[in-house]
Structure 1
Amino acid sequence: MKTHIALLRGINVSGHKIIKMELLRKVLSELDLDNIRTYIQSGNIIFESNSSDISKLEMQIAAKIEEHFGFVVPVTVVTPGELFAIINKNPYAKATLSDAAQPYVSFLSEIPKNDYLEVLKTIDFKGDAFISIDKTLYIWYSNFAGNSKLSNAIIESKLKLRSTARNWKTVLKLYELATAK
């Protein structure tokens, strides 16, 4: 069995697409997944599967959620190894944090095209910054993520791909949970 981490996009935000984690675990247990665990309410699922077909896992989880809850939820699945690489490549890892400064990781569905990245780089995000490495956008929010123009909607619209973001503490915790024995 291989461990995977599924990241659900846009659930339990501002009263929309509400999914209780206990029910989600029960619903996903109908799939060929084992040791299903969730972390906080934003849609972070750690599970084991015999499958290593990431696309198939994403589609199965998304289809099961739509079937049971009645709405579409984009799903991104990563492995602990991919999460380890993302953690080690973080260009903001040594940055000084303040109460307002927040590092985030945006998990992209594919490597963004350079032309689209250049368009995103032309926007003035008022002190917020990002660096693209592989299928990951490392984001530095200088004054709270919720106050930024560098939103997930802007990222998806300018890069023309799917994205879901997690704060740095969540990324570290997901890796810890996925690799715990």
Structure 2
Amino acid sequence: MKTYMLLLRGINVSGQKKIKMTGLKQSLEKLGLQNVQTYIQSGNVVFDSAITSESSLEKSIEKLIFESYKFEVPVLVFEAKEFEIIVKGSPYLDSETVEVNHSYFVLLKTLPADFLVALLNSETFLNEEFVISAKCIYLNCKIGYGKAKCTNNFFERKLKVQATTRNLKTMSKLVALSSVVN
């Protein structure tokens, strides 16, 4: 049995693609996932599973959501240990950045092409900086994410991948929840 993080992209935003977390939790339990815990309404879930393939879990959950809610959403699944490594690997964990809540994680569903990463790395943006790793783009928005040019949609367009963004508080809470599950 392994512990996983499930992140859904683009649900419960401006009344679109509504999924109640209580219903999602029940559906995931019917799928055979155990110790299912949700965090806030934006599609953050911690669970245990005997299935050890992240892509198999993603496909099963995508199918479940489509059958239950009649729409598609990008589904990202990470093993809890990998997720914790991603959080600890952020270059933007200095006290000043953390204190003002400017540290973000753009989690990638697939690896972007090297040439697209190189093109994006050649660009610079006022008040925004980022570091691209294999599974995550670490983002520091010095004026806040709401005013950022480097948004989730921006990175998806530039790198031609699906992604979802979370702030440090959410990422840290999910790591803490995974410790409780284990």
TM bucket by the smaller chain? over 0.9
| Structure 1 residue 149: Cα displacement | 1.1
| Structure 1 residue 111: Cα displacement | 2.8
Q: Distance in 2 between matches of 1:139 and 1:125?
A: 11
Q: Distance in 1 between matches of 2:167 and 2:47?
A: 20
| Aligned residue number for residue 26 of structure 2 | 26
How many matched pairs?
A: 181
| Aligned residue number for residue 157 of structure 1 | 157
| Aligned residue number for residue 112 of structure 1 | 112
Q: Distance in 2 between matches of 1:148 and 1:92?
A: 16
| Aligned residue number for residue 55 of structure 2 | 55
Alignment of 1:44-123 (within 5 A): 44-97=44-97, 101-123=101-123
Q: Distance in 2 between matches of 1:156 and 1:3?
A: 27
CA gap 1:99/1:92 in 2 versus in 1, 3 angstroms: closer
| Aligned residue number for residue 137 of structure 2 | 137
Post-superposition CA distance 1:108-166 (Å, at most 9, x none) = 12232232123323444321111012211000011121111111111011101111111
Gaps in structure 2 of 5+ consecutive residues: none
Q: Distance in 2 between matches of 1:62 and 1:4?
A: 15
Post-superposition CA distance 1:8-51 (Å, at most 9, x none) = 00101111111111111112222021111100001001111101
The letter of the residue matching 2:105 is: V
Decide whether the 8 Å contact of 2:92 with 2:98 is kept in 1: no
| Structure 1 residue 97: Cα displacement | 3.0
Q: Distance in 2 between matches of 1:142 and 1:101?
A: 9
| Structure 1 residue 95: Cα displacement | 4.8
Instruction: Check if 1:3 corresponds to 2:18.
Output: no
TM-score by length of 1: 0.93
SS in 2 for 1:143: coil
Show structure 1 runs of 4+ deviating over 2 A.
97-101, 110-114, 118-126
Structure number having the greater helix percentage: 2
SS in 2 for 1:29: helix
TM-score by length of 2: 0.93
CA gap 1:130/1:95 in 2 versus in 1, 3 angstroms: farther
Q: Distance in 1 between matches of 2:22 and 2:84?
A: 27
Decide whether the 8 Å contact of 2:4 with 2:79 is kept in 1: yes
